[in-house]
Chains A and B, each alone.
Chain A
Amino acid sequence: MKLEERVLEKLSSFRGKWPILQSSLRKKERKEKVLPEISMEDLRNVRSIREKAIQELEENIERLKRVLEEKGAELYIARDGVEASKIVIKICKENNVKLIVKSKSLTTEEIELNKFLESEGIEVIETDLGERLIQLAGQKPSHILGPALHMTRYEVAEILSKYYGRKILPDPREIVLEVRREFREKYQRADMVITGANLIIAENGAIVLVTNEGNDRLSLAFAPIHVVIAGVEKIVPSTKDALRILKVLCRKATGQRLSSYVSFNVPSSLAYPKDGMKKIRKTIYILIDNGRMNARRDEDFREALYCIRCASCLEVCPPYNMLGGHVFGYIYSGPMGIPWTMITHGLKNTEFAQLCNICGLCKEECPVDIDLPYLNILVKKMYGEAYGYPSINRKIKRYEKLIDLGSKLPSFSNTIMNQRLFKKLIEEYVGIDRRISLPRFSSKSLGEIFKEIGGGERGKIALFTDSMLYYFLPELALKAVDILSKLGFKIILPKQKSSGMPLIQNGFINEAREVALYNVSSLYKLVDRGYKVVTLEPTSYLCISRYYPKILQTRESIKVSENTYTFYSLLKTIGWSELENIVKKLDNMSLIYHKPCHTLMENGSIPVIDFIEKLNANVMFRNAGCCGLAGTWGMKKNGHGYDIGIEIGKWTLDMYEKLRGEMIVTECTACYIQFSNLSKHLPVKHVLELIQPL
C-alpha cells in the first residue's frame, strides 16, 4: 500500500479518538509542573555530555572494555543486527537457553532479534506490558516509549483473550493483574535476560535502566545470564554524567521527576538461586554499530547520536500525533525516527519522512537541541536523489510560479481560481488539493504600492516579506511599515524572492540554495551599508536566520542572519513606550494567541505576545501548536498533506473554540488563512490587523 493510502487508512481508523494525540496531551499536562525545574544549565550540561561522549566514543569503548574484563564480563561490538543476533544465539546454544525474558527492548526491535531467537526454537517473553502486547499482536512499536499506545483497551483484551484462551475483560486493571500473574512464573523460569540500556557508564561498566513497571529488575533478578544489547552511542564516561542526564531524561520523557525505577547495575551481581546454589550472573555486553559509526563521521548526522530517547519530539509533532508510528515511522518513529531510520535501516525505509511538515516544534522541544527539522530536510533530499523525489513534491514546487503568474492578472485569477475546473487542474499540475479555498489576490502587490518611506534618523530597514503578504495581504505589511516609519526608521523594499520554504521543506536543497543566494546577495549589500533586515512572516525569519546559513555556509549568509529581526523583536529592542503615541489601544480584548510553529522563542519569551499586551489586549491563551497548513505541506492533495493537516487544524480550532476568547490572533499569514477558512464561530485576525494608527 502506498504511503498516502496508509495515511488515509490510519486517519480513518483513529478519527475522533486520536489515541496517540490524547496520550501526548496527558504527558504534556504532567510535564508542565516539572519542566520548569530544568534549567538552561542542565540542558547545556546534557548537550555537552552527549557531544563529548560521541566525540570520545572510541576511547570510551576501550575504557569500558578494560573495566568489563576486570569484572569478568564480556564485551562484543557487533557490526549490525545479524552479527549481534548470531552472538546471542551462540550464547543461547552454549548455555542451553530455552526461555528468555526481555526488557528495554527498543534496540533489539531495531535489529529484530526476536525473529532470530524464535527461529531457533527459543521462547522469548517481552516483559514491558506495551512491548508484550505488540509482540503478541505481531506488530512493530508505534511509539519509542509506549509501543502499544495505538491500541484501545478492547484491542488489548482481544489480543490477551486469544493468547490466554479465555475471556479477558477490557478493563486495564484486570489486564494488568493477568499479566502480573503470568510474568511471575516466567521470571523465575527464565534462563537468560536480555536488556537494553538507557546509558552505559564507561568508568565502572554499569548499565542504567529506567522503567516505571519494574520489569527490568525482576527480569534481572532471577536469570543466571544477562545479555545487554545497546547501541554504542549509549556510553557516557562517568556516573556523574549519567546522573545529570537522568535529571533531564525522566522529566522530559514522562513528566516525572524520576521514573519509578532507576537502577545502576554492575556485572558482578549474584543471580537469585533456582537450585539453592549461589551464582554470579554471567554478563555479556553486545554493543551495536548498525550505522552509528558512519553517522558519527558525518558532520550533520552525528548530532542525531546525541538523542537521549526522551520522545519529547514525538509528543509535539503534529502529523505524528495524528498518525502514530506505524505510518510515521519504521521502527524508530516520529521526528527522531527519520534520521535514526536512515542511520540504522537505510534511506530506502525513510519514505515516511515526507510526512514531516518541518514545523520545527521538535527542535524547540528537544532537550539536547538536535536540529531534527534540518536533518529531516537532508533525509528528504538524499531520498529524492537516491530514489527520485515523490511526484507530489515535484508538483508542489510549481506553487510559487502559480502565485507569480496569478498575480499578473489578479482580478482574473480571483474569478477562476475557486472554480471547480480550475481547482481540478491545479490539483493535477501543482498538487494542491481541490478542497482548499485559495486566498484572493490583492488588486496590487506590495511591490506595486510600496513607497520608500521614513527619515531614517533611527536606522534603515530592508523589509522582507513572503509571497503571502506580498501578493495577498499587502495592506497588512503597510501597517507595519507605518509604525516603523513613525518610529523614525527609513524603510525600503529590496529585491527579493519568496523565502524558498516550500523547496526547503521538500528537500529540494539545490534549488533552495539558488533562492537563498539571490535573497542573501540582495540583503547583504544593504546590511553592509548599515540596514537591518526586518521580516513580517515567522517563516521568512526562520529561513534567513537558520536555514540560509546552513545551506549556503557563507560569510554573507551569516552576516545577513545576524542582522535580521522579526518586526516584533525589533520593536522589543526599542522598548514599547513609544508605541503608545503611535497606535490606538485595544479595549482589554481577550485574545487567543496562536503561536505559529515557525515563531522562535527569544530568551524564553515571544515578542509578539509582548506587542499584543502593549496594545492593551489580554492574551488569555498561548498555544504552541500547528494550524495544520505548514506552508504548502497542508495543501498537498489527499494523504500527502491535506487530510492530515485539516484534522490537525480542526483539532486545534476545536480546542480554541472551547475557550471564551473574543478571537484568535496570529502573526503567520498561512495560519491566519487556515483558521479563517476553518473557523465557523470564532473570528480570526492577523496580529497586524490589530494595529490602528492614532
Chain B
Amino acid sequence: MLENRDFLKLFVTRLREIDVDTHLCKNVDELYDNLKGLVENVETPIPIVGNGTDYRRELIKKMLKDGLKFRIMVPDLLEPFSDIELSIGFPEYGLANTGTLVYKASSSIEEVSLYFPEKHISIISKDRIIYDLEDLEKLSVENILERGESLLLITGSSSTADIEGEIIRGVHGPRVLYVFVLEEAR
C-alpha cells in the first residue's frame, strides 16, 4: 500500500468544488444519523453495491433494524430491473486530487445501480483515499482489469453542457451525488 498520508482535506475540497454534497462523519453512528434522512422516505428498494467492508456491514445492520427497504446487489443474484430512486455504493478508493470515487464492477448490475438512479450516495473511509491517478498505477489496478472486472471512476454527477454551454445535471446518470467520508480509519 501507499505511505499513509492524509488526503482527506483535499478530497473534501475537490468534491465540494464539483458540487458534490459531501459530509464528514466521525463514526458509523454519526454516518447513519446523517444518512437516514436521505434514505427513509425512498419509495423504491435501495441497491447497495461496492466493497465488503466492516462499515458497510454495520450500516446494513442499522438499516435492517430500522426496517428500511434496500437490496444488496450481488453479481451472482441477477434479477430483472425496475426503476430506482437512490443507490448506495462503497467505492474501492477515493482520489483526493480529483475528487474521484473508484469502483470496480464485475457485472452490469453494479453499474446500473451506480448510474441509473436520480440520486447516489457513496460512502468511503478516509484510509481508502489516495492522492491521484498515478497512485492507481502504484496499486496495480491493471490486475482488476486482468480479472475481467471493469474500473469505474466517478467524479461528480452526470452533466451536460450541450445546450448553449449551460451545465445541467442529471442528463443520464445521477443528478445528485452525496459522499459520506468516514473519518475513522477502518
| Residues of A participating in the B interface, judged by any CB pair closer than 8 Å | 19, 22-23, 26, 71, 127-130, 133, 146-149, 151-153, 156, 172-173, 175-176, 179-180, 183-184, 188, 201, 203-204, 206, 212-215, 217-218, 220-222, 238-240, 243-244, 246-247, 256-266, 268-276, 278, 281
Contact = CB atoms under 8 A, between A and B. Distances in A.
Contacts of B134: 243, 247
Interface string B13-32: 01000100000000000000
A217 B80 contact: no
Contact of A269 (B107, B132, B155, B159): B107
30 contacts: A26-B165, A133-B162, A148-B163, A152-B164, A172-B164, A176-B163, A180-B170, A201-B145, A206-B145, A212-B160, A212-B161, A215-B172, A218-B173, A220-B108, A220-B111, A239-B141, A240-B137, A247-B133, A257-B14, A258-B98, A258-B100, A261-B115, A261-B154, A264-B141, A270-B75, A270-B107, A270-B109, A272-B107, A273-B79, A278-B78
B80 A222 contact: no
Contacts of B79: 273, 276
B105 interface: yes
A270 B108 CA distance: 6
Contacts of B114: 217
Given A148-B162, A173-B168, A273-B78, 4 more contacts: A176-B170, A214-B172, A218-B173, A269-B149
Contacts of B164: 19, 22-23, 151-153, 172
A243 B144 CA distance: 14
Contact of B112 (A148, A206, A272): A272
Contact of B136 (A127, A188, A243): A243
B162 to A, nearest CB: 4
A425 B50 CA distance: 75
B87 to A, nearest CB: 13
B106 A270 contact: yes
A222 B133 contact: no
Contacts of A153: 163-164
Q: Provide the main secondary structure of the chain B interface.
A: loop
Contacts, number: 191
B125 interface: no
Given A188-B81, A274-B80, A276-B80, A221 B153 contact: no
Contact of A238 (B95, B142, B153): B142
Contact of A175 (B14, B78, B133, B163): B163
A35 to B, nearest CB: 14
Contact of A179 (B97, B171, B173): B171
Interface residues of B, number: 57
A156 B155 CA distance: 28
Contact of B172 (A26, A175, A183, A263): A183
A264 B116 contact: no
Contacts of A71: 148
B162 A130 contact: yes
A209 to B, nearest CB: 10
A204 B145 contact: yes
Given A218-B172, A260-B156, A269 B98 contact: no
Contacts of B111: 217-218, 220-221
A263 B115 CA distance: 12
B173 A272 contact: no
B160 to A, nearest CB: 5
Per CB-CB distance, the 4 closest pairs between chain A and chain B, nearest first, are A214-B173, A270-B107, A130-B162, A268-B148
A269 B81 contact: no
A180 B98 contact: no
A258 B156 CA distance: 9
Contacts of B174: 214
A260 B133 contact: no
Given A153-B163, A260-B159, A266 B112 contact: no
Contacts of B136: 243
Contacts of A180: 170-172
B9 to A, nearest CB: 16
Contact of B151 (A19, A129, A257, A264): A264
Contacts of B14: 257
Nearest to A33: B17
B83 interface: yes
B162 A129 contact: yes
Contacts of A183: 172
B11 to A, nearest CB: 12
A217 B80 CA distance: 18
B129 to A, nearest CB: 15
Interface string B108-124: 11011011100000000
